[in-house]
Amino acid sequence: MTTRREFLKTGVGGALLLNIAACTSPPAEDRRAVVLAALIPVFLDGALPAGGEARSELITRTIAGVDKAISGLSLATQKEIGELFDLLSFAPTRMIAAGIWSSWPDASPEAIGKFLESWRHSRFDLLKSGYAALHDLIFGAWYARPDTWAAIDYPGPPKVE
Amino acid sequence: MRDPFREGLASGWKHVDASELAADRTFDADVVIVGSGAGGGVTAEILAAAGLTVIIVEEGPLRTSSDFKMRESEAYPDLYQESAARKTADKAINILQGRCVGGSTTVNWTSSFRTPPATLHWWQATHGLKNLSVEAMAPWFAAMEQRLHVGLWPLPPNENNAVLARGAAKLGIPVAVIPRNVKMCWNLGYCGLGCPTNAKQSMLLTTIPAALTRGAILISRLRAEKLEFSGNKAVALTATALKQDGLHASGVKVSLRARHFVLAGGAINSPALLMRSKSADPHGLLGKHTFLHPTLISSGLFDKPVRAFAGAPQSVYSDHFLEQAAVDGSLGFKLEVPPLHPVLFSTTLQGWGEAHARLMREFANSQTILALVRDGFHPESRGGQVRLRDDGSPVLDYPLNDTFWEAARRALLAMAEIQFAAGARWVTPVHEAAVGYNNWSEAKQGIANLPLAPLRCRVVSAHVMGGCAMADTPERGVVSDEGLHFQIENLSIHDGSLFPTSIGANPQLSIYGLVARNASLLAAALAGKPRPAIL
């Protein structure tokens, strides 16, 4: 069974890159927030309002929701998710593994969409599972919030007295 | 709304939340039971009733009906293993398992089937389990059906289930009503998030309260780490108190000593505990042949609202496709439906961006069918294997092979045909490459050509079975048909890990019935009383 780390060592970035990726500052949560701030509008296109203050506020809330979801995963899974975001944060591995050549805030929705499709349909199980993790974290964080339910005609749980 | 569990605590039931322990502790009892789900709960009630002192160890938190707010954002992290995101090693199968007092019985969808005769016959013929005949097991199932108020669901099915019934009827496929373990059920549809009205007759409401009333001690947020052995006996269980977050060790250690130990932590955690303990495994069978009923999903859109979030989640099923071939022939599958809630549905549904948003906007008109593939009978369906990560936590390897995918394709076809027959205007397999179909002939052609592979086609499971299989001899299994470990004389396994194959039906009643039998035999042995009659 190839772990993500073994795969990266042999398959994409090499041990050196991965080690550098894990050691770069700033703190992991801040780096994750930068990646998520770019991915969330693409995943949630059609669900997020098109613009304005509400949009950025909702993105912030969704990032917080992803943080909360990650904090409830097993410690082993949290470590893997940490490696995934290390990979996406560190410029050389971001370019090689995700094909995103600009920084995340400068990446176009088209480039990000291309990245998502390339991982989703990759021949490497590891990249497919990376896409699936992002998919589940972001949609889970979004639809967990009652303010997203009106748009999908979900009345929320009934009252029980 | 009354909260009978909190009333019990107020009346003096003994519960220790290990996250609140300030110093290391030692406990002694006749029997220590690890796990408070279907197996642990039934065992606790029966042993306590025999006058034995019992301690129940549960890794998850104690949550009771007043805590059940029917919110996915709270229920998944609180009540499920790994926040309902437990996965196989390759991440290809998502596994739903409870982790709270009551285990999966607190969060399951209440479907209550006896072990199918075909499964019992196979165990008798192939695994040497001659004692487990349909006739011999019937009284144990009957007793547990009565204890847990199992009965055919008397109300009309919700629309989500009605679609399965209607589509199947059009195609001449027989369906039947699902027996459920509920009493005075409000028909809300939130069983998976903890029953807020105490209708579900889970372990949280039945056997565990009965055991606590007789003086048993429940310790929650305590992770069983290791059994210590002396010769061929287990002498103590060492356990780690968890912090309030349920993940990190608090630093407090708990040691539990007992005459007898019962493992009932489920088919991933029970083998893992024995593996961490380096228990005797002379034939290399521990944690092997773990089964999942790997499950395929087909989602359809209807013109009128389905509201799959409302009403009893599972009330209709079909075993038609389990009966098309011999039990060890090409894999059969059971058809049921799942309740849909926003997080569960949105994370399961393929795609992103506008394509995903468009489907979510039709959430209320979405209907979904599940096909639970019966694994473990066909010679090429050998299940998975539990192993330990470096930190000692368990992970399941479960390879999905061609034998499975052949059944998966038949299942996706069958479900789409039923959905179109019931009036769906659009159907898609939950699959990354599927774009959906507007009619049955499109679907028939599309699904025939769909590339089926892990992480392409979504596979899920809510039924983990096997890993400490019963057999007649130590060469073929880990425990006897009474759940007694072949090498460790004072150790029993009382959970789904006993099963030498999958069940071919939702497994809760199979666990209740078998464990009621084995706990009764154990109680007699430990209390020095005559064995109950077993056929």
Burial state string for B391-420 with b = 16 or more CB within 10 A and e = fewer than 16: eebbbbebebeebbbebbbbbbbbbbbbbb
How confident is the prediction for chain B on average, in pLDDT? Answer: 97
Cα separation, B117 vs B137, in Å, equals 10
CA distances from A58 to A39, A49, A55, A114, B63 (A): 13, 9, 5, 24, 31
Residue B76, pLDDT > 60, answer yes
- Which chain B residues are Cβ-neighbours of A125 within 8 angstroms? 90-92, 454-455
Q: Percent of chain B, pLDDT > 90?
A: 99
Separation between Cα atoms, residue B62 and residue B36, nearest integer Å = 10
Cα distance between residue B360 and residue B131, in whole Å: 50
Disruptive mutation site among B90, B350, B360, B362 for chain A (greatest number of A CBs within 10 Å): B360
N-term to C-term CA, chain A:
51
Closest CA to A93 of A5, A29, A159, A158: A5
Q: What CA–CA distance (Å, rounded) separates B510 from B425?
A: 38
Model confidence at A24, in pLDDT bands (50, 70, 90)? low
| SS3 assignment, position B300 | strand
- At residue A22, φ and ψ (nearest 5 deg) are -75, -20
**Angle at the Cα of B391 from the Cα atoms of A86 and A23, rounded to 5 degrees:** 25
CA distance, residue A107 to nearest chain B CA (Å)? 16
Residue in A closest to B458 by C-alpha: A132
Chain B residues with CB inside 8 Å of A121's CB?
A: 432-433
Summarised one tens digit per residue, pLDDT across range B149-183 is 999 999 999 999 999 999 999 999 999 999 999 99
- In A, minimum Cα distance to B344 occurs at A140
* pLDDT of A33 over the 70 cut: yes
Chain A residues closer than 8 Å to B309 by CB: 154
The helix-helix angle for B134-147 and B117-126 (nearest 10°) equals 130
The 10 Å Cβ neighbour count of residue A23 is 9
What is the pLDDT, as a whole number, of residue A2? 41
Residue of B432, B457, B113 whose CA lies nearest to B295:
B457
Cα distance between residue B521 and residue B535, in whole Å? 13
Under 8 Å between Cβ of B42 and B518: no
Provide the residue type at B324 as one letter: Q
Residue B494 has pLDDT above 60, yes or no: yes
Q: What is the mean pLDDT of residues A69-91?
A: 96
Model confidence at A110: pLDDT above 50: yes
Confidence of residue B532 (pLDDT cuts 50, 70, 90): confident
pLDDT, chain A, mean: 88
Residue with tokens 């909260």: B3
Minimum-distance CB partner of B352 among A128, A129, A135: A135
User: Taking the C-alpha atoms of B291, B407, B308 and B197 in order, what is their torsion angle to the nearest 10 degrees?
Assistant: -20
Q: Report how far residue B126's alpha carbon sits from residue B124's, in angstroms, rounded to the nearest whole number.
A: 6
* Residue A1 pLDDT level (bands cut at 50, 70, 90): very low
Rounded average pLDDT over B348-357: 97
DSSP state letter for B193: G
pLDDT at B509: 98
Question: Is residue B117 a contact partner of residue B81, using CB atoms and an 8 Å limit?
Answer: no
Which chain A residues contact residue B361 at CB under 8 A? 151-153
Residue B529 has pLDDT above 80, yes or no: yes
A53 touches chain B (CB under 8 A): no
Tell me the C-alpha distance between B514 and B144, whole Å. Answer: 10
Query: Which percentage of chain B shows pLDDT scores above 70?
Result: 100
Is A9 or B66 the better-scoring residue by pLDDT?
Answer: B66
Q: Does the pLDDT of residue B211 top 80, yes or no?
A: yes
Q: Are B285 and B349 in contact (CB under 8 A)?
A: no
* Subunit contact A157:B69, Cβ cutoff 8 A: yes
Please indicate whether, in this complex, the C-beta atoms of B357 and A47 are within 8 angstroms of each other. yes
**Residue B192: is its pLDDT beyond 80?**
yes
- Count of CB contacts below 8 A, A vs B? 127
Cα–Cα distance for residue pair A115/A113, rounded to 1 Å: 5
For residue A49, pLDDT beyond 50? yes
State the pLDDT at residue A21: 56
Task: Specify whether the CB–CB gap between A86 and A101 falls below 8 A.
Answer: no
Residue B440, pLDDT > 90, answer yes
The per-residue pLDDT for A155 is 97
Give the H or E element holding residue B307. none
What tens digit of pLDDT does each residue of B286-342 get?
A: 999 999 999 999 999 999 999 999 999 999 999 999 999 999 999 999 999 999 999
Does A7 score more than 60 pLDDT?
A: no
Tokens 């029980």 -> residue: A160
The verdict on a CB contact (< 8 Å) between A45 and B91 is no
pTM: 0.96
Phi, psi of B278 (to 5 degrees): 50, 45
pLDDT category at A9 given cuts 50, 70, 90 is very low
Average pLDDT over residues A107-132: 97
Write the CA distances from B515 to A62, B42, B317, B498, integer angstroms: 44, 7, 25, 10
- Residue-wise pLDDT for B25-66, tens only, equals 999 999 999 999 999 999 999 999 999 999 999 999 999 999
Angle, vertex CA B387, rays to CA B386 and CA B389, nearest 5: 140
pLDDT band at A18 (very low <50, low <70, confident <90, very high): low
Evaluate if residue A25 carries a pLDDT over 70: no
pLDDT, average across residues B440-457: 98
Reference A142, options A128, A152, A157, A131; nearest CA is A152
| pLDDT single digits (tens) B364-406 | 999 999 999 999 999 999 999 999 999 999 999 999 999 999 9
Q: What is the mean pLDDT of residues B460-483?
A: 98
